[in-house]
Amino acid sequence: MMDYSLGKGNLENWVVSETEFSADKLGKVESIMYLGNGYMGLRSATEEPYLNEVRNLFVNGTFNKFDEKEVTELPNMADVTRIDIRVDGERFSLELGETRGYVRQLNLKSAELTRTFEWVSPKGKELHFHIKRFVSLDNLHLIGIQMEVENGQHPVEISFNTGINAQMNNNGSQHFHEGDRRIFDKRFVQLVQTTTESKIDVAINTVHKFTKNGKEVKTEPVMQMDRRKVGLKYTISLQPNDNLTMEKLTNVYTSRDKEFDKPNYHLEQLREHSLQDLRKMSESGYNLLIEVHHDAWQQKVWNKYNLEINSEDSFDLLALRFALYHLTVMTPAHDERMGIGAKALSGEGYKGHSFWDTEVFILPFFTFTNPEVAKSLLKYRYYGLVGARKKAEENGYEGAMYPWEAAWPTDGEVTPVWGAVDIITGKQTKIWSGFIEQHITSDIVHAVYQYFTMTGDQKFMDECGYEMVFDTAKFWASRLEWNEEKQEYHINNVVGPDEYKEHVNNNAFTNYMAHFNLKLAISYYEILSKQTPSWFAELNKKLSLEESYQHWLYKAEKLYLPEPREEDIVIPQDDTYLQLKEIDLTNYKNQDKVGTLFNDYNLEQVNKIQVSKQADINILFFMMGHAFSQEVIRANFNYYESKTLHDSSLSLSTHAILANDLGEEQLAYSLFKKASEIDLGSSMLSSDEGIHAASIGGIWQATVFGFAGVRLIDGKLRINPRLPKHWNDMKLTIHWKGQPVSLFITQATLSVKAENQKKIEFEVFGKSYECKDHIVIPIEVARECKEGAL
């Protein structure tokens, strides 16, 4: 059972807690309390093993393909968290004996996981456990575990079987060769393994230290080496009230790390360097190392984002901090060759692959608050042009067609072909997204545009951005299909964001976004050719732009963009959606777990019903709302929301933002709450496969783009705050053209402070403002001037 109210004093709204242990419901806490730093993610499985546990350690970028018939995925590394404990020979497990006062907590502020409880063994031995764990934000390779055991009134012998266990897999797929195991000085345990296909070397080292009543225990462990397993067994006697502390420090290095991924790399370097590093770390010990880690969190995260809300319901603030915590641990800020997986680094779901989730739901957080990291994520897509060009060519198109699912940048398309069971035929359902869900290409370009407009980072554009925009426009130009009868270009046979409609023609979102992509290429072409002719000439030589430009002009002009139909100004989601049959969706709309529609229909049948998995056209309004009138947005929001089951976690936050734009404050707030509960809610099973990274980005988006009303509209910064009535105020710092800009919003006023005293211009409810220092704007007055402004 989850509890969010246990943080007291200066930890109020910082602590996510589980107050009851259930061996049948392990997944949620393993996922939502996972630890990480963008380099690696460690699922928070307990030290002692349970049947249904999922023990995961992922290191970003280490993709491997187990078999020709499978797609590449992030391999589950060897485990260092499992520690088998025996008390007077009895196995320690919370399923045996009696457990009192159990609490497991993730402290979001310090990014430390703790577990506290008293355990009475079946034979009546009482022990008090306090276990802590962190994955350092300061030294990205480091994992620390500390276990304190306070003995009760009986003398006991306690043993710890601990080390490195490589008997791991991803749902059965084994990604590593057996590797080498070694124990140095009866203390330092090392495992070096190589992935089977991508040939990435991984070195894991671990060391233990025991202290009894404050004094180090020099005990001789028994050395153990099994197949894919190496470790030590320590046995220690405890007298009544003795206090024993065990520390386990581990590090992880791979040949994919930038410092090793060089032509003269040799495995010996990796072994030696990682071992020496751990020897050094072990001199500091857990307590010192975690202090540096706390500091890193304070400086790099909490001080930087400076985001607070003052709400009547304190859960809102906790949810936002939870979002910032996860946005930090999921993001490989250290390496621009890596992206963010849809389940981040928290579980085997979606295999560590990156989707449009990154560019539409996560990256905006960085673009608006930490542009350096946004640049790194965009560079991942720049390197991904190799894979995107490969995919375009394989499909008979020109330019760059981004993969729906991406792994290592050069891999190209990695979406699996077969998925869940078809309840009618009993066969596997084919996953079409990898073939025909194509909007991701322009979603990435939209993110480039947003980044460039927010930051003005010309260097990025010269080195990467223009090439991405031009080559994707080339793809779209070759992708469009001429319709002779209508005398216009169409985009046929696609899946739009709503994955419950496959093989549709002219999905509105896809067409509008492709149009945006083409128009952006045209506009950048014109600016570059006029303003920097020599640079333009170079790009032209590389990408033959002149000829493409003529195509873009003509094709963008003739691309069909679905318009609101006359009777109710509803825009057809695609050519057939509005003609499909309608059914009573009440039960599915009120479902308490997603996907119940598939208890009654298979995908083929769902394709023929007016029902949507997630926001489709509504995402378009979120991304390009300024191109549509408020009446059109309202009519479409009402029409499509009633048909949307929010079966994808990407859906609720978008609807929350739009509801807020439309002045539906109650609805917006309740959708925001539901979005926050996707991972934090009471359902103990929904996060088993991993957290929902995009929905976590969505919590931030609903707060900042929604309630604070901060948006980039037509190249301009716009701030139309509409705080929920339960919120007294909020503050945050965004970055605009290289300058931090701090906002403080109450129900009555908006204060804007240009932190570097550089002039900024922005709009509030349709009125332009500028400030070089600090300005306070009364919201009601601004709002009355332009009631209903989006």
Active site members: 499
Please name which of 260, 168, 161, 173 lies closest in space to residue 206, comparing C-alpha atoms: 161
Rounded least distance, CB 731 to ligand BGC, Å: 30
Number of H helices, E strands in the chain: 23, 32
Rounded least distance, CB 655 to ligand BGC, Å: 14
Closest CB to ligand BGC among residues 340, 461: 340
Longest dimension (CA), the chain: 90
Rounded least distance, CB 361 to ligand BGC, Å: 9
Please name which of 162, 155, 7 lies closest in space to residue 81, comparing C-alpha atoms: 162
Closest CB to ligand BGC among residues 350, 397: 350
Any idea of the CA torsion for 356, 359, 365, 369, to the nearest 10 degrees?
160
Closest CB to ligand BGC among residues 385, 691: 691
Rounded least distance, CB 479 to ligand BGC, Å: 20
Tokens 């009192």 sit at which residue?
A: 100
Rounded least distance, CB 787 to ligand BGC, Å: 34
Question: What's phi and psi for 245, nearest 5 deg?
Answer: -120, 130
**CA dihedral sign, ordered 723, 729, 730, 736:** positive
- Tokens standing for residue 393: 């060519």
**Is 485 in contact with 399 (CB distance < 8 Å)?**
no
Closest CB to ligand BGC among residues 420, 527: 420
**Is 750 in contact with 721 (CB distance < 8 Å)?**
yes
Separation CA 56–CA 73 (nearest Å): 13
Helix 533-543 with 545-558: angle, nearest 10 deg:
80
Closest CB to ligand BGC among residues 387, 497: 497
Separation CA 115–CA 699 (nearest Å): 27
For residue 251, CA distances in Å to 274, 488, 660 come to 7, 59, 46
Instruction: Characterise 678 by phi-psi region: left (phi > 0), alpha (psi -120 to 50), beta (else).
Output: alpha
The DSSP output letter for 195 is B
Separation CA 564–CA 572 (nearest Å): 7
**Is 378 in contact with 465 (CB distance < 8 Å)?**
yes
Please name which of 235, 80, 194, 230 lies closest in space to residue 143, comparing C-alpha atoms: 80
**Is 725 in contact with 665 (CB distance < 8 Å)?**
yes
Separation CA 509–CA 497 (nearest Å): 8
Question: What's phi and psi for 683, nearest 5 deg?
Answer: -65, 125
Please name which of 197, 339, 203 lies closest in space to residue 265, comparing C-alpha atoms: 203
Instruction: Characterise 782 by phi-psi region: left (phi > 0), alpha (psi -120 to 50), beta (else).
Output: alpha
Q: What does 691-737 look like in DSSP terms, one character per residue?
A: --HHHHHHHHHIIIIIIS-EEEETTEEEE-----TTEEEEEEEEEET
Rounded least distance, CB 745 to ligand BGC, Å: 31
Rounded least distance, CB 349 to ligand BGC, Å: 9
Closest CB to ligand BGC among residues 352, 412: 352
**Is 701 in contact with 319 (CB distance < 8 Å)?**
no
Across the strands, what pairs with 233? 161, 222
Rounded least distance, CB 390 to ligand BGC, Å: 21
Rounded least distance, CB 650 to ligand BGC, Å: 5
Closest CB to ligand BGC among residues 37, 651: 651
Please name which of 138, 143, 140 lies closest in space to residue 299, comparing C-alpha atoms: 138
Position 347: which residue type? G
Spell 231-247 as b/e; 16+ CB within 10 A means b: bbebebebeeebebbbb
**Is 497 in contact with 616 (CB distance < 8 Å)?**
yes
Tell me the HSE value of 248 on the side-chain side, using a 13 A CA sphere.
25
**Is 73 in contact with 79 (CB distance < 8 Å)?**
no
Rounded least distance, CB 416 to ligand BGC, Å: 12
Residues found near ligand BGC in the complex (CB under 6 A): 342, 350, 355-357, 497, 499, 613-614, 648, 650, 694
Separation CA 46–CA 55 (nearest Å): 9
Closest CB to ligand BGC among residues 355, 765: 355
Residues 6+ apart with CB under 8 A from 558: 487, 488, 489
Closest CB to ligand BGC among residues 506, 651: 651
Rounded least distance, CB 595 to ligand BGC, Å: 10
Rounded least distance, CB 496 to ligand BGC, Å: 10
For residue 751, CA distances in Å to 369, 741, 774 come to 17, 10, 7
Rounded least distance, CB 474 to ligand BGC, Å: 24
Closest CB to ligand BGC among residues 496, 706: 496
